[in-house]
Amino acid sequence: MSDNNPYSGAFGGNGGQYAQTVQYGGGDRPKVSLGEAPAAADLIKDTTTATFAADVIQESRRQPVLVDFWAPWCGPCKQLTPQLEKAVQAAGGKVKLVKMNIDDHPSIAGQLGIQSIPAVIAFKDGQPVDGFMGAIPESQINQFIQKVGGKGGGAPQIADALAAAAEARTAGDVQTAADIYDAILEQAPETLEAIAGLGEILFDAGDTEGAEAVL
């Protein structure tokens, strides 16, 4: 598979700390879409080799960017990516998430020395600064985002997350809204708007016991 990399060498050869074993390139495995929620369109996107510089390098000069390296055949990737999306939405703009399919675009992962997926690399100021491999627990994902994105501005971040949840509900994506409310309550359990929103969703879904437990 051809993957012309106009940014060859931009990251140096020091990505080995994330390395284990993976084979880059297509094969005949079926493609599986790891879609993103409409409410998170400005926070979550897919990238290619051609757009990586703009989506990650340039954008990380404005705010931290997490890059999720995945492939359609990777089972743990299918577990991690939805959790990443949920955590990024709940962070309300502290970080952005960019997803790269290494089957279609292997060279960037190769430049970074990534040999095992899922792998998540955080970029700041145009450089990779931190990362992890594997489908880690949701609590550790949240801690990683707090570490990379900083802990300041909690109230504005929650407000942004609440707005994203409201947008998802308006668009009819109640699952995404519920996930965002749930993530908000993990970080700020007394957020009344999140409590009410999650309770309403559960009640509308017929889960009266769940709604009562939340409220």
Residues identified as active-site = 74, 77
> End-to-end distance of the chain based on CA atoms, in angstroms?
53
Structure tokens at 27: 């094969």
User: Rounded distance, CA 144 to CA 129, Å?
Assistant: 12
Cα dist. 127→63, 65, 133 in Å?
A: 12, 10, 18
Both tokens of residue 135? 């489908």
Q: Are 77 and 71 in contact (CB under 8 A)?
A: yes
145-165 burial by CB neighbour count: b if 16+ within 10 A, else e?
beebbeeeeeeebbebbbebb
